[in-house]
């Protein structure tokens, strides 16, 4: 892999925890399961005590002085807790008398013995103080520590004091790419632009291509600007084309002559073939935009070599035939322009990106490292390094095999050996395992690790005992890698061995063993079981798809068999304390990707076994639920758009069947209620936020309860239902949206943000907050990616797809490989040799991944194998045969030679897939019912309306957002009341089409809204203008009727609307009104759909109801309001506000159907309807709003002088004697007392009129 990395390898020496030197630079290589974290904690104890026998200047250190660095937040938390626990344990040990030691801990005993007994109390105090100080300990991720250093040492690092750390910089990158496009692509001439468009069509596509190039731009070759690159390419292309403008015409007769003379095949060189080939060459030569001729088979038949082979006698001679032999290769070389432009774009965008970050005082995570690295190697670098060394005399770097060149340069600059540094005064301890270096895709570089290893000289140490696994499991893993390590003609277990050295050898470890053993039917099981699919006798390898499906089925069947044995207490873990039965949580299946995870989960689910999938870094934004929530948000933001609401209802999570959806879409009343429901969600969104709205939506559709039922054991056969996963993702997304809503304005802004975040997640960007959460910690089988499993352990491990691998794609961009000196190289397009080198490095990492996978189990591991094509290119195939071909004929023999000779390994044909199901007791997984609150919880602040007040059925009616919505709610409720009214069920009398009466006009909320819309249009247009232009009136009515299928009502509605506009409405001198006559078309001033808001301060609706009932309609009986409290705002829309004879009125249109003819619209019937619908409450609130408005607008305002009252027009009763009019002006005392009530001035009420 890198033949000349190191020629002077030193063998690591076993680490002795109490004599390990705590000064200078050292490297500890800790194989899997050998107690690395335990060792770090023990070294920390020694550092706190100042225990370093080989260093006379050693002093006790405090937690803030001991830097411990690891690479993930989870590892940081674990390290901190483990160190704290060890310090506490050591403190207790030093507090005990020699004869009273409770803990049987040889290390602590030996450590204590190295101190005089009279020093033990002070040691205990130091240890206990350090344990209590751990919250301030310098235990951090590498990025967190770099960020801290840049902030704390801003002067020495030339950093800004205030910089923003951005977790997602995709927007800034997109802006830099757009700048590049505007600067270099837009100005290109037609020829250049046409060519570039065949490579990249837009800034978004360019950004996609640059996504993996920007970070390595410095390693790409320098390139000139695109116009120069394209100009040079054009010159070369024109030079190639120049002779071909005449050559085809000369070559044609030569071919014709040879064909006529029968010296050329008439089949391979048919006249039409030759003419088409030569015409293609001519067209290409004369087309400045054509990149290559469309020759197809002509490429192989028109060359001089082809003619020589196919011609009987001397072939025709012409420069064109000779040139065609090399033309294709020469044209291919011109494609280097594409890579040159991409390289230039990557470098330019990287520079612009960095400049914009500086201008905006922003940093990304990678910038934290690069800026500290630049500072340490800049003019003030030596001073900064000295300051950091004084602050942290000791640094312990965990997981050092995952380092990269920048990280290593940082620590080497601070703690590296220098002539002017005293190594006894500072310490750098690197802890890692090169056999577990599996994060190259994140930038980790094993060659950098080997550099650091060499810098430690002889101070290399190893942990040689495994504390995780049984003796048998450790021996089985040792055997697997010993096959390759001891192969005489091989490259060692990890592809690093050459004739001179092996910097990454496989060194066998011993085992501490475990107190329990995995047994089935009383027999201890083999540690490693290798399953294989027997070859079918052909020379063809097993297809990968067949391998995945068959091995998944076999693995799932065996897991079910073992689990059912566990239910019968015939499989489990035996110890001196008895047997613990095997459970699903004891099993883990390790996979490489989502496809493998889906294959095994489907098979497990079909057999009744629940599982949980732990991917490496899957964003919740890429889930189906993110797309569904986008549909929900769109519908809630615009509930008036039926298409959006239908899309939301059709999402799978809401659980509506096709039958239910069809019934909902066809039932007008149900559909209207559904639209109103989504309007309620919008109101909730605006008042409370997106999270409460989404929770309310989920509960309304019973989503949580239904999803959790899908995970019941009895339902586990459905492979498409993972309710816990879906619900976890939904709640996670809701939280992310709520967080984003604090920074984003408006509903549509949040929807756009979600869609953009989804797009970014698809491209692999986004922070840790977006990573999928574990949906359950229940008794489930764990499906884990190998990368995610690193550092974890499981009782039993299944590796069913061990043969799977993904070779390096020659089209991969960028292609990365290392030279013999370990230097990283990057190319946009690599040569065959570079691809081969990169693929060998891929195989090396796959071997390290296999090592990680095989060292996760405590007791047993199962491996699935098959004779795939090129199996030797996989990690397990390499272990078996090196890089020698391993076809189906050799497959079983190689397995026997490799695994059949070990006492700890069983080699078996893969189990036959069975139909046995896991027989877990459903009651064990039963979820208890949640406690339910018995009281009605109301919000302390809300927005009310007349509609929400009059609702008495307990259903929440949101305040209307628009006038149309206000009308919709009213007409819906009026229609509902009419259907319940015995008197309103009389059959309507037929009405002639020419009549202006509307008794036969269809009823319902939609028709009521239609009539209201016509009146609203007339008010907006101006009643006088409508009255003067009957043609315009008819045209508008006709158009609106046609849209709704009401064509037969055009004449009736036209006449009706004209009569309303021009009829004098008589207002009688009763109910507080002044006698007058009002004609809409003659009103001097009128305003339609006036919206009002006013505050409501803890208004008791019963008190409100009592006042209104006592002062309107003579105190007549009417339905009582439901008791509630108004605290917030009251809003509404007045259909019409107008001024007449110096008084101001509120008018409201009502489309209620009171009967079959004009006789039904008597003053008594209208009044009864007013009371039944509680329109009295509505007009009182409207007049209160108008009263408040007039007080602010009229300097001499007086209620008795200026207030006209409320006029209600029941528009279907226009031809009745009453004209459908109900008018009332409530007394001044009522309005003033309501004014005080809504302002919270209860003392004003007490001083008011006595109510009879």
Distances from the Cα of 773 to the Cαs of 46, 457, 617, 618, in angstroms? 38, 44, 10, 9
Dihedral over alpha carbons 663, 668, 669, 670 (to 10 degrees): 30
598 known ligand binder: no
Catalytic residue among 52, 839, 1148, 1176: 1148
DSSP state of 184: I
519 known ligand binder: no
622 closest CA partner among 751, 527, 758, 518 = 758
How far is 502 from 415, CA to CA, in rounded Å?
A: 27
Burial of 1115-1142, coded b for 16+ CB within 10 Å and e otherwise, reads eeebeebeebbbbbbbbbbbbbbbebee
30 known ligand binder: yes
310 burial type by CB count under 10 A (0-12 exposed, 13-18 middle, 19+ buried): middle
831 known ligand binder: no
31 known ligand binder: yes
What residues does 465 pair with on adjacent strands? 510
Pair 796, 856: CB distance under 8 Å:
no
DSSP state of 871: G
Tokens coding 887: 């076809």
Run of H or E including 908 = strand 905-909
33 known ligand binder: yes
Place of tokens 């209307």: 960
How far is 307 from 285, CA to CA, in rounded Å?
A: 22
34 known ligand binder: yes
- Coil, strand or helix at 682: helix
Say whether the peptide bond before residue 1159 is cis (omega within 30 degrees of 0): no
Residue 1133 has φ and ψ, to the nearest 5°, of -130, 125
674 closest CA partner among 640, 710, 698 = 640
* Cβ neighbours of 640 (radius 10 Å): 15
Tokens coding 602: 């489907």
714 known ligand binder: no
> Which of left, alpha, beta for 495 (phi over 0: left; psi -120 to 50: alpha)?
left
Pair 251, 318: CB distance under 8 Å:
yes
In the residue annotation, 536 being an active-site residue is answered as: no
State the DSSP string of 560-588.
HHHHHHHHTTSEEEEETTEEEE--GGGEE
How far is 115 from 828, CA to CA, in rounded Å?
A: 62
Torsion sign, CA atoms 193, 197, 198, 204 = positive
- Coil, strand or helix at 865: strand
* Cβ neighbours of 952 (radius 10 Å): 11
Bridging pattern class, strands 1064-1067 and 1076-1079: antiparallel
How far is 1017 from 1136, CA to CA, in rounded Å?
A: 12
Tokens coding 30: 């800790």
1095 known ligand binder: no
Tokens coding 430: 């690197």
1135 known ligand binder: yes
Pair 140, 68: CB distance under 8 Å:
yes
Dihedral over alpha carbons 280, 286, 292, 297 (to 10 degrees): 10
How far is 988 from 156, CA to CA, in rounded Å?
A: 91
Run of H or E including 365 = helix 365-376
Dihedral over alpha carbons 381, 382, 388, 392 (to 10 degrees): 140
Rounded to an integer, what is the distance from CA 1198 to the centroid of its chain? 62
> Which of left, alpha, beta for 215 (phi over 0: left; psi -120 to 50: alpha)?
alpha
Cβ neighbours of residue 118 under 8 Å, at least 6 residues apart?
none
Question: HSE (CB half, 13 Å, CA atoms) of 93?
Answer: 20
1150 known ligand binder: no
Torsion sign, CA atoms 1125, 1126, 1132, 1134 = positive
Residues forming the annotated binding site for Mg(2+)? 1012, 1135, 1148
* Positions marked active-site: 1148
Q: Binding site for ATP: which residues?
A: 30-37
Q: Annotated binding residues, as ranges?
A: 30-37, 1012, 1135, 1148
């Amino acid at each position: 892999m890198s033949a000349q990395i190191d020629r002077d390898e030193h063998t690591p020496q076993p680490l002795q925890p109490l004599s390990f030197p705590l000064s200078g630079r050292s490297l500890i290589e800790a194989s899997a399961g050998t107690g690395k974290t335990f060792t770090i904690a023990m070294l920390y104890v020694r550092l706190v005590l100042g225990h370093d026998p080989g260093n006379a200047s050693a002093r006790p250190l405090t937690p803030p002085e001991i830097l411990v660095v690891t690479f993930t937040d989870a590892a940081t938390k674990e390290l901190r807790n483990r160190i704290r626990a060890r310090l506490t344990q050591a403190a207790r040990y030093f507090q005990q008398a020699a004869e009273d030691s409770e803990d049987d801990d040889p290390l602590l005993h030996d450590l204590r013995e190295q101190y005089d007994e009279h020093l033990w109390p002070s040691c205990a105090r130091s240890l206990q103080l350090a344990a209590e100080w751990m919250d301030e300990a310098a235990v951090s991720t590498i990025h967190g520590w770099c960020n801290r250093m840049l902030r704390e040492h801003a002067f020495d690092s030339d950093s800004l004091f205030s910089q923003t750390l951005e977790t997602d910089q995709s927007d800034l990158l997109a802006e830099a790419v757009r700048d590049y496009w505007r600067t270099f692509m837009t100005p290109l001439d037609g020829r250049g632009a046409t060519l570039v468009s065949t490579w990249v069509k837009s800034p978004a596509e360019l950004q996609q291509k640059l996504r993996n190039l920007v970070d390595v731009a410095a390693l790409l070759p320098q390139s000139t600007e695109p116009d120069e690159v394209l100009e040079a390419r054009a010159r070369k292309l024109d030079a190639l084309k120049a002779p071909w403008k005449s050559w085809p015409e000369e070559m044609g007769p030569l071919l014709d002559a040879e064909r006529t003379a029968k010296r050329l095949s008439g089949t391979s060189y048919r006249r039409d073939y030759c003419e088409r080939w030569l015409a293609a060459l001519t067209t290409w030569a004369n087309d400045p935009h054509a990149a290559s001729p469309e020759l197809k088979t002509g490429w192989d038949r028109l060359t001089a070599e082809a003619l020589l082979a196919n011609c009987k006698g001397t072939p025709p001679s012409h420069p064109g035939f000779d040139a065609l032999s090399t033309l294709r290769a020469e044209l291919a070389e011109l494609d280097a322009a594409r890579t040159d432009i991409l390289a230039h774009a990557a470098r330019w965008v990287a520079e612009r990106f960095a400049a914009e970050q500086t201008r905006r005082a922003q940093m990304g995570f990678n910038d934290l490292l690069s800026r500290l690295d630049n500072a340490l190697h800049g003019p003030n670098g030596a001073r900064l390094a000295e300051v950091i060394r004084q602050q942290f005399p000791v640094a312990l770097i965990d997981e050092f095999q995952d380092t990269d060149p920048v990280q290593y340069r940082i620590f080497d600059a601070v703690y590296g050996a220098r002539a002017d540094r005293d190594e006894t005064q500072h310490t750098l301890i690197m802890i890692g395992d090169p056999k577990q270096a599996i994060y190259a895709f994140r930038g980790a570089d094993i060659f950098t690790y080997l550099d650091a290893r060499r810098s430690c000289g002889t101070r290399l140490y190893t942990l040689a005992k495994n504390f995780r696994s049984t003796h048998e499991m450790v021996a089985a893993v040792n055997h697997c890698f010993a096959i390759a390590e001891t192969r005489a003609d091989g490259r060692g277990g990890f592809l690093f061995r050459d004739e001179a050295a092996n910097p990454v050898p496989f060194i066998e470890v011993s085992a501490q063993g475990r107190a329990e053993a995995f047994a089935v039917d009383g027999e201890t099981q083999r540690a490693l079981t290798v399953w294989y699919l027997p070859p079918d006798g052909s020379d063809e390898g097993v297809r990968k798809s067949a391998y995945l499906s068959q091995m998944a089925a076999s693995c799932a069947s065996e897991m079910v068999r073992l689990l059912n044995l566990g239910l019968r207490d015939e499989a489990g873990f035996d110890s001196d304390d008895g047997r613990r039965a095997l459970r699903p949580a004891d099993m883990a299946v390790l996979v490489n990707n989502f496809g493998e995870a889906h294959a095994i989960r489907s098979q497990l689910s079909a057999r009744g076994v629940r599982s949980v999938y732990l991917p490496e870094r899957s964003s919740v934004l890429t889930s189906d639920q993110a797309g569904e929530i986008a549909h929900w948000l769109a519908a809630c933001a615009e509930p008036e758009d039926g298409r959006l609401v239908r899309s939301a209802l059709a999402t799978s999570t809401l659980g509506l069947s096709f039958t239910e959806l069809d019934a909902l879409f066809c039932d007008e009343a149900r559909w209207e209620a559904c639209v109103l429901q989504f309007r309620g969600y919008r109101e909730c969104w605006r008042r409370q936020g997106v999270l409460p709205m989404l929770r309310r939506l989920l509960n309304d559709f019973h989503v949580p309860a239904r999803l959790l039922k899908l995970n019941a054991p009895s339902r586990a056969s459905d492979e498409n239902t993972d309710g816990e996963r879906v619900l976890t993702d939904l709640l996670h997304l809701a939280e992310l949206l709520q967080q984003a809503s604090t920074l984003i304005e408006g509903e549509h802004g949040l929807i756009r943000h979600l869609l953009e975040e989804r797009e970014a997640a698809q491209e692999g960007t986004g922070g840790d907050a977006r990573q999928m959460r574990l949906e359950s910690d229940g008794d489930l089988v764990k499906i884990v990616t190998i990368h995610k499993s690193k550092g974890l352990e499981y009782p039993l491990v299944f590796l069913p797809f061990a043969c799977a691998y993904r070779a390096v794609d020659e089209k991969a961009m960028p292609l990365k490989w290392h030279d013999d000196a370990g230097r990283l190289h990057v190319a946009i397009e690599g040569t065959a040799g570079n691809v081969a080198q990169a693929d060998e490095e891929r195989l090396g990492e796959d071997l390290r991944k296999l090592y990680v996978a095989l060292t996760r189990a405590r007791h047993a591991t199962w491996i699935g194998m098959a004779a795939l094509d090129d199996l030797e290119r996989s990690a397990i195939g390499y272990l078996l045969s090196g890089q020698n071909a391993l076809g189906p004929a050799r497959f079983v023999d190689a397995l026997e030679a490799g695994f059949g000779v070990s006492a700890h390994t069983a080699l078996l044909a893969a189990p036959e897939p069975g139909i046995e199901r896991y027989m877990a007791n459903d009651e064990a997984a039963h979820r208890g019912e949640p406690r339910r609150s018995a009281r009605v919880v109301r919000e302390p602040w809300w927005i009310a309306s007349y509609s929400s007040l009059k609702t008495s059925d307990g259903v929440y009616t949101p305040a209307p957002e628009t006038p149309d919505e206000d009308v919709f709610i009213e007409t819906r409720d009026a229609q509902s009341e009419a259907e319940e009214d015995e008197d309103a069920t009389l059959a309507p009398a037929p009405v002639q089409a020419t009549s202006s009466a509307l008794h036969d006009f269809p009823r319902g909320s939609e028709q009521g809204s239609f009539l209201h819309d016509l009146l609203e249009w007339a008010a907006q247009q101006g009643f006088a203008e409508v009255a003067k232009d009957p043609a315009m009136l008819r045209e508008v009515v006709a158009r609106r009727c046609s849209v709704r299928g009401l064509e037969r009502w055009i004449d009736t509605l036209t006449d009706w609307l004209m009569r309303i506009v021009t009829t004098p409405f008589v207002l009688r001198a009763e109910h507080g009104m002044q006698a007058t006559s009002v004609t809409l078309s003659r009103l001097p001033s009128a305003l339609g759909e006036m919206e009002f808001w006013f505050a409501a301060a803890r208004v008791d609706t019963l008190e409100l109801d009592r006042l209104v009932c006592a002062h309107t309609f003579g105190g007549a009986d009417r339905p009582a309001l439901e008791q509630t409290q108004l605290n917030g705002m009251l809003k509404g829309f007045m259909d019409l506000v107008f001024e007449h004879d110096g008084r101001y009125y509120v008018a409201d249109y009502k489309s209620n159907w009171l009967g079959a003819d004009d006789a039904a619209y008597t003053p008594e019937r209208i009044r009864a309807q007013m009371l039944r619908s509680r329109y009295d409450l509505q007009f009182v609130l409207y007049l209160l709003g108008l009263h408040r408005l007039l007080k602010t607008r009229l300097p001499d305002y007086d209620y008795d002088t200026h207030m006209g009252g409320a006029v209600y027009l029941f528009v279907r009763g226009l031809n009745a004697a009453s004209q459908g009019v109900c008018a009332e002006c409530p007394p001044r005392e009522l309005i003033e007392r309501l004014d005080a009530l809504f302002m919270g001035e209860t003392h004003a009420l007490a001083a008011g009129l006595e109510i009879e």
